Structure 1
């Protein structure tokens, strides 16, 4: 069924996503930012009114005509901004279900993703002067069937490109910035981890490796930064300076990769914790 004609509920039923848990809608910030662009015009309008008033021309034919023209121009600008904002956001929504998420994106496109078939790109943006644990996260969803999407603020397209794999990026979409990223972001992270971790552990138990972008989980250890670190030797796992750093017992230096480049980042962290009893710091 075409993604343009399928409803959110139909997509969720087709992919057996279970019960709907929550719905998130776009934030209203873009409209406020756009309206801020009218401030110079309003200041100019006020200046003209003062100038005409001091010259006694405010009630003249010229004064009335100029004032009416300014009012029409500002009104048209406000209407245009409102229409543009509505067109950009439309009726976009993100519906989170038990086993997946369905996004109603630009122009009404319905984009469904099962958690166990989707890779999550997590990109951190740190406020100036803060530590990594205060980073604001943005997200990308990569699926072999549904077009990939970018969500949140400042998603690094480069990280998505580097982890595309078999995903067609010609249909890459940027959807609205949905409200409460502090709620739905961790919810997606947790759901992706719960969906992928059991299968990942099964693959490793069967002697097969599992790739996480620049890092690879092996049956006997973690391949990272050109080294293979045995599970039993890993003593610490943390994000520092935008890097995922892995500390090994008896070594001063750590092995590291860019955290933003690791798809299903928290799945990898859960694998390390499973085999090494080392939680992510």
Structure 2
């Protein structure tokens, strides 16, 4: 069998595995594929996490502690440094985007697994991590088995497309669920920041939505404008989880308060 035919067969088998994994998670129709770039090592799956990610319950949601995430990102960076100069280690890795989630197929040099992410249950943080090209932007997601996955900008083609697509899809999937939970009286916690249908706050601060004129995201932190003055709510080194979902919810809640006036 020629090398070309062997590669084609490997590609067919990988696609079959990806399709089967996506089907089991009910991700729907495939929409786009982004293949690994030909340099460096591919996106790293965080290993050795001590805590599994719990099933999301919107009645009393609280994101888990971030210790395991820091360890996962650190281990990913170490593997990245060891992989410098081995461009072939990236061959075959790919991201596949579906209606309700995505898959990240890792090479044998990483873990050989296909990680499945659902938009309605994942948690996303944006970080800066090491790569063969230096410090780059990365998305750290949690798969359906509770493991963090580090997807670095530059490991896969067109990160300027798939990065915003992840944030858009997660926001669209989670905001309606969160709004419904808030309407029932839930308190939603995003790391150090919490919200209810009436208030937004952190450990030191609590403000009612009618007081909030505007909400923005600054370097992963939440900034709010009250009486024409800006203040930054408490932030954490790893970034606020799903901060873009929080931003969208703040937009809904401040707008709803003004509509009620």
TM range, smaller chain: 0.5 to 0.7
Write out per-residue CA displacement over residues 51-93 of structure 1, whole angstroms, 9 at most, x where no aligned residue.
xxxxxxxxxxxxxxxxxxxxxxxxxxxxxx87x321x213110
Give, in whole Å, the separation in 1 of the partners of 2:17 and 2:233.
43
Contact 2:205 2:233 in 1 (8 A): no
For 1:248-267, list aligned pairs within 5 A. Answer: 248-249=226-227, 252=229, 254-258=231-235, 261-267=239-245
Q: Counterpart in 1 of 2:141?
A: 141
Q: Secondary structure at the match of 2:195?
A: strand
User: Runs ≥4 in structure 1, deviation > 6 angstroms?
Assistant: none
Write out per-residue CA displacement over residues 200-236 of structure 1, whole angstroms, 9 at most, x where no aligned residue.
0111110011111111111211112521111111112
Using structure 2 for the length normalisation, give the TM-score. Answer: 0.66
Query: Which structure is higher in RCO with an 8 Å CA cutoff and minimum separation 6?
Result: 2
What's the CA shift for 1:124?
6.0
Write out per-residue CA displacement over residues 4-31 of structure 1, whole angstroms, 9 at most, x where no aligned residue.
9981000111111011110001122439
Q: Is 1:191 aligned with 2:169? A: yes
Q: Unpaired segments of 5 or more residues in structure 1? A: 32-80, 126-135, 154-175
Contact 1:224 1:257 in 2 (8 A): yes
> Would you tell me which structure has more helix in proportion to its own residues?
1
Q: Unpaired segments of 5 or more residues in structure 2? A: 1-13, 42-83, 130-135, 257-261
Contact 1:111 1:146 in 2 (8 A): no
Q: Counterpart in 2 of 1:95?
A: 96
From 81, 85, 89, give the equivalent of 2:87.
85
What's the CA shift for 1:238?
2.1
RMSD: 2.9
Larger radius of gyration: 1
- Number of equivalences: 192
What's the CA shift for 1:258?
3.2
Using structure 1 for the length normalisation, give the TM-score. Answer: 0.61
Give, in whole Å, the separation in 2 of the partners of 1:253 and 1:112.
39
Q: Counterpart in 1 of 2:251?
A: 273
Q: Secondary structure at the match of 2:120?
A: helix
Give, in whole Å, the separation in 1 of the partners of 2:139 and 2:29.
23
Change (3 A) 1:145 1:30: closer
Give, in whole Å, the separation in 2 of the partners of 1:222 and 1:85.
47
